[in-house]
Amino acid sequence: MMKVHMCCQKCRTKALKLVASANGVSFVGLEGDEKEKVVVIGDGVDAVKLTNCLRKTVGHTDIVSVAAA
């Protein structure tokens, strides 16, 4: 789970498209009161690489949690 600063719907769409296109991702969703947390489920997903891509494309991003399935 990653917390991404998304100020508008365009940023949310951009973040979801970026995450969904990553290797090994099988599910992408938004959580939280303001839909600021991106939930990523998949096999072999590199959380650090994905976070760096989101930082470059969308903005401030933090890793909230990483868990093995």
Q: What pLDDT, on the 0 to 100 scale, is given for residue 29?
A: 94
- The enclosing domain of 45 has a CATH number of 3.30.70.100
Would 9 be classed as within a structural domain? yes
Nearest to 47 by CA among 69, 29, 22, 26: 22
Would 69 be classed as within a structural domain? no
**What is the residue range of 39's domain?**
2-63
Kindly state the percentage of the chain with pLDDT values over 70. 99
Instruction: Find residue 41's DSSP bridge partners.
Output: 27
Q: What is the DSSP letter of 62?
A: E
Structurally, the chain folds into a number of domains equal to: 1
pLDDT 10s digits, 33-58: 989 999 999 999 999 999 999 999 99
Distance CA 61, CA 58 (A): 8
The first and second tokens of residue 15, run together, are: 């973040």
Would 46 be classed as within a structural domain? yes
Global confidence as pTM: 0.85
Would 7 be classed as within a structural domain? yes
Would 68 be classed as within a structural domain? no
Would 56 be classed as within a structural domain? yes
